[in-house]
Amino acid sequence: MAQQVDFYVLGEASDAARLRLACRLVEQAYLAGQRVLAWTDDRAARDGFDTLLWTFGDRAFVPHEPLAPDCDAPVQLADAPGLPVTAGRFDVLLNLRDTPVPGDIDVPRIIEVLDGDAQRRQSGRERFRAYRERGLAPTHHSLDNDAQIGNG
């Protein structure tokens, strides 16, 4: 299956702004009826993103739960090093990790979110190259910090 990979890049060096943008992208996918998996590096990052999904917008509501085999929440959060993702379970994988999504994870769309932090940018460039080396064609979206996100 051909995967779509989108990199959303903010100008400011702010992890908080990066995570708020990630929340907006998850909300947009959820409102479009897509099932989303948000993947973080560890439990602390997962718990922080969980909290932010409840609080990032006054009128935002994104129902979500930790990844579980029998969970039917439209947005699920994971922090495991390897993901048991079955084909067709998710439409979007939001990668908040420093490593690219492995090629054996079957999901139609991957979203990467970067900010202006030099280390995160470098890690993002490495992931961009890794996706290209797998034959994918990542798309780069430069955003102002308060930019509207297009459908994508």
Query: Would you list the DSSP string of the chain?
Result: ---EEEEEEESS--HHHHHHHHHHHHHHHHHTT--EEEE-SSHHHHHHHHHHHHHS-TT----EEE--TT---SEEEE--SS--PPTTS-SEEEE-SSSPPPTT---SEEEEEE-S-HHHHHHHHHHHHHHHHTT---EEEEE-TTPPPPP-
Single-letter amino acid code for the residue at 78:
A
pLDDT at position 151: 44
Question: Tens of pLDDT along 33-83?
Answer: 999 999 999 999 999 999 999 988 888 789 999 988 888 899 999 987 766
For residue range 5-16, list pLDDT tens digits in order. 999 999 999 999
- Give the pTM: 0.90
Whether residue 152 is predicted with pLDDT greater than 60 in this model: the reply is no
The answer on pLDDT for 146 being more than 90 is no
pLDDT tens digit string along 84-104? Answer: 666 568 999 999 999 999 888
For residue 148, give every residue at least 6 positions away whose Cβ sits within 8 Å of its Cβ, in sequence order, or none: none
Domain boundaries in the chain? 4-136
Architecture of domain 4-136: 3-Layer(aba) Sandwich (3.40)
Whole-angstrom Cα distance, residue 5 to residue 139? Answer: 6
Cα(114)–Cα(11) distance, integer angstroms: 9
Q: What is the pLDDT of residue 104?
A: 84
Rg of the chain on CA atoms, in Å = 14
Q: Which pLDDT score, from 0 to 100, does residue 70 have?
A: 85
Q: So what's the pLDDT on residue 86? A: 65
